[in-house]
Amino acid sequence: MTDELVKRYAPYLAWRTFFNVILQLDEKGLPTRIDRSFLKQRSGLDQGYLIATLKAFKMIADDGTVLDPLKDLVAARDGRQPLVGQLLRAHYPEVFALPLNATQAELDDVFREVYAQSGATLRKAQTFLLHGASFAGLKLSPYFKTPRGVQGATSPRRTRKRATPRSSTAAATPIVADTSVPPRPEVPADDMRLRYFDVLLKKVDSTGETDADLLDRIERLIGLDRSTARTAPSRRTRVETTGEAAADEHSTEA
């Protein structure tokens, strides 16, 4: 790459990427040179862009040796804005020669003719310049707009994945929780009668009294026909009647 091509190179990396390197150098100190080993934590593309930008701004030599402009910018913690302004004016003289009411098309013409850029590269190069000018407080035409949503020429195009449609059956069939009460196990009728019979007997034993209604229930349970029993005299009645008759006969004989 000749000096003329380096001089007319317009950086098109992100301004923040470039300025973060300045902050890193301020924090850790300047190395003897800026090369790919120093930038190993960055991607290979960013390494190439940063080295080309530093060379274009005359901050490092062709072999990466650190030059005075970079040393001055790193050292001037409170005075970086005017230094960045001087740097941009020196590197983009055709842009700052445009009137303050120049149109976006005039800015595009400068980047095409002077820096031989077009398409996405042109947009990115303009974005770098406009962000740098904003940092330095330089005034440019209000008609210069920072491009947005421009995809870089070196960025891989992302393919949007289509969502897999759900089947209509799955969408139409709601999931209903089973809240039904499980059926109680059936108990045979004979077992039920035996249990009931036991309950009635225990009640008779606990009360110690003869309850006619309770006796009726017990007799119905064991299959005794109470309809006949109710029309015929009970055993106690027959006994009492028989006793009375015998008493009468005894008195007559006497």
Higher pLDDT, 66 or 147: 66
Rounded CA separation 158/138 (Å)? 36
Whether 161 is covered by a domain: the verdict is no
Do 7 and 75 belong to one domain? Answer: yes
Residue 170 has pLDDT above 60, yes or no: no
Contact present, 127 and 147 (Cβ < 8 Å): yes
Do 203 and 105 belong to one domain? Answer: no
Do 13 and 82 belong to one domain? Answer: yes
Do 17 and 120 belong to one domain? Answer: yes
Give the pLDDT of residue 242: 45
Whether 15 is covered by a domain: the verdict is yes
Residue 249 has pLDDT above 50, yes or no: no
Give the count of domains, the chain: 2
Mean pLDDT value across residues 168-184: 54
Residue 40 has pLDDT above 60, yes or no: yes
Q: Where are the beta strands (DSSP E) in the chain?
A: none
Instruction: Report the predicted TM-score, pTM, of the whole model to 2 decimal places.
Output: 0.56
Do 26 and 99 belong to one domain? Answer: yes
Mean pLDDT value across residues 28-57: 94
Residue 160 has pLDDT above 80, yes or no: no
pLDDT tens digits, residue range 214-226?
A: 667 766 766 654 4
Whether 208 is covered by a domain: the verdict is yes
Contact present, 124 and 143 (Cβ < 8 Å): no
Give the pLDDT of residue 214: 64
Mean pLDDT value across residues 176-205: 63
| Of 50-54, 222-226, 242-246, minimum mean pLDDT range | 242-246
Q: What angle do CA 11, 89, 119 make, to 5 degrees?
A: 35
Please identify, among 136, 168, 199, the residue that sits at the C-terminal boundary of a domain. Answer: 136
Average pLDDT of the residues of the chain: 76
Single out the residue of 90, 91, 130, 84 nearest to residue 107, CA to CA: 130
Do 129 and 249 belong to one domain? Answer: no
Tell me how far the alpha carbon of residue 204 is from its chain's centroid: 71
Give the pLDDT of residue 215: 64
Rounded CA separation 87/132 (Å)? 10
Single out the residue of 80, 88, 63, 62 nearest to residue 21, CA to CA: 80
Do 22 and 115 belong to one domain? Answer: yes
Do 228 and 130 belong to one domain? Answer: no
Do 99 and 212 belong to one domain? Answer: no
Do 12 and 119 belong to one domain? Answer: yes
Higher pLDDT, 56 or 198: 56
Do 120 and 208 belong to one domain? Answer: no
Higher pLDDT, 166 or 138: 138
Mean pLDDT value across residues 175-204: 62
Do 44 and 109 belong to one domain? Answer: yes
Contact present, 53 and 7 (Cβ < 8 Å): no
Mean pLDDT value across residues 194-206: 69
Please identify, among 121, 136, 151, the residue that sits at the C-terminal boundary of a domain. Answer: 136
Query: What residues contact residue 138 under an 8 Å CB cut-off, 6+ apart?
Result: 85, 88, 89, 96
Whether 195 is covered by a domain: the verdict is yes
Residue 27 has pLDDT above 60, yes or no: yes
- Banded pLDDT at 31 (limits 50, 70, 90): very high
Give the pLDDT of residue 220: 72
Contact present, 31 and 40 (Cβ < 8 Å): no
pLDDT tens digits, residue range 105-135?
A: 999 999 999 999 999 999 999 999 999 999 9
Whether 128 is covered by a domain: the verdict is yes
Whether 156 is covered by a domain: the verdict is no
Domain that includes residue 205, residue range: 189-253
Task: Characterize 177-206 residue by residue with b for buried, 16 or more Cβ atoms within 10 angstroms of its Cβ, and e for exposed.
Answer: eeeeeeeeeeeeeeeeeeeeeeebeeeeee
Please identify, among 136, 151, 171, the residue that sits at the C-terminal boundary of a domain. Answer: 136
Whether 165 is covered by a domain: the verdict is no
pLDDT tens digits, residue range 227-238?
A: 444 444 444 444
Mean pLDDT value across residues 186-190: 60
Q: Which letter does DSSP use for residue 104 in this model?
A: H
Rounded CA separation 18/30 (Å)? 15
Query: What residues contact residue 132 under an 8 Å CB cut-off, 6+ apart?
Result: 15, 84, 88
Evaluated on CA atoms 215, 219, 221, 226, the torsion sign reads negative
Give the pLDDT of residue 23: 95
Contact present, 36 and 16 (Cβ < 8 Å): no
Residue 93 has pLDDT above 80, yes or no: yes
